[in-house]
Chains A and B, each alone.
Chain A
Amino acid sequence: MASKENFLVGIFDNEEVLLHAVENIRDKGVKIKEVYSPFPVHGLDEALGYRRTRLPIAAFLFGMTGTITALSTQIWMLGFDWPMIIGGKNFFSIPPFIPVTFEFTVLLSAFGMVGTFLVVSDMKPYKWPRQYDIRSTDDKHVMAIDLGSNKIGKEDIRRILKDNGASEVNEKSF
Chain B
Amino acid sequence: MQAESVFRESLVTGGKTVADVSQDISCQVENKPTRLWWTAFGISLVLLTYGGYCCWMMLWHGIGMWGLNKTVGWAWDITNFVWWVGIGHAGTLISAILLLFRQRWRMSINRAAEAMTIFAVICALSFPGFHMGRLWLGFYWAFPLPNAFGSLWVNFNSPLLWDVFAIGTYFSVSLVFWYMGLIPDFAVIRDRAVRMGHMTRAKIYNGLSFGWDGAAKTWMRYESVALILAGLSTPLVLSVHTIVSMDFATSVIPGWHTTIFPPYFVAGAIFSGFAMVLTLLLVTRKVFKLEDYITIYHVELMNIIIIVTGSIVGIAYITEFFIAWYGQVPAESYAFINRATGPYWWAYWSMMTCNVISPQLFWFKKLRTNLVATFIISIIVNIGMWFERFVIIVTSLHRDYVPSSWTMFHPTMYDIGQYIFTFGIFFTFFFLFAKFFPVINMAEVKSIVRATSEKKNKAH
Which residues of A are interface residues toward B (Cβ below 8 A)?
A: 14-16, 34-42, 44-45, 48, 50, 52-53, 55-56, 59, 73-74, 77-78, 81-82, 84, 86-87, 89, 96-97, 99-100, 102-104, 106-107, 109-111, 113-114, 117-118, 120-131, 134-139
B219-A40 in contact (CB<8A): yes
Asked if B219 and A41 sit within 8 Å, CB to CB, the answer is yes
In the bound complex, do residue B169 and residue A107 qualify as a contact, i.e. CB atoms below 8 Å apart?
yes
Among B169, B176, B187, B225, which residue has its beta carbon within 8 angstroms of that of A103?
A: B169
A to B CB contacts below 8 Å, 27 in the list: A38-B22, A38-B188, A38-B442, A40-B220, A40-B443, A42-B2, A59-B232, A77-B144, A81-B151, A82-B152, A99-B165, A103-B165, A103-B239, A111-B173, A114-B225, A117-B225, A121-B217, A121-B218, A123-B211, A124-B211, A127-B210, A134-B194, A136-B191, A137-B22, A138-B192, A139-B17, A139-B18
Whether, in the assembled complex, B207 has its beta carbon less than 8 Å from a beta carbon of chain A, the answer is: yes
Residues of A within 8 Å of B200, CB to CB, are none
Task: Give chain A nearest CB distance to B67 CB in angstroms.
Answer: 30
Q: Are A56 and B224 in contact (CB under 8 A)?
A: yes
Q: Please determine whether B169 and A36 come into contact, CB atoms closer than 8 angstroms.
A: no
List residues of chain B with CB under 8 Å of any chain A CB: 1-2, 17-19, 22, 144, 150-153, 155-157, 159, 161-162, 165-166, 168-169, 172-173, 176-177, 180, 183-184, 187-188, 190-192, 194-195, 206-208, 210-225, 228-229, 232, 235-236, 239, 243, 442-444, 446-447, 450
Contact in complex: A44, B216 (CB < 8 Å): yes
Are A37 and B236 CB-contacts (below 8 A) given A59-B228, A127-B210, A136-B214? Answer: no
A121 to B206, CA, bound (A): 15
Max chain B Cβ within 10 angstroms of own Cβ: one of A78, A100, A104: A100
Are B166 and A40 interface neighbours, CB within 8 A? no
The smallest C-beta distance from A37 to any residue of chain B, in angstroms, reads: 6
| One of A34, A53, A55, A114 near B176 (C-beta < 8 A) | A114
Residue of B nearest to A60 (CB): B228
Complex contact A14–B450 (CB within 8 A): yes
Q: Are B195 and A37 in contact (CB under 8 A)?
A: no
Q: Is the CB of B1 within 8 A of A34?
A: no
A127-B191 contact in complex given A82-B152, A86-B157, A139-B19, C-beta closer than 8 Å: no
Nearest CB in chain B to that of A33: its residue = B215
Q: How far is the CB of A133 from chain B (nearest CB, A)?
A: 10
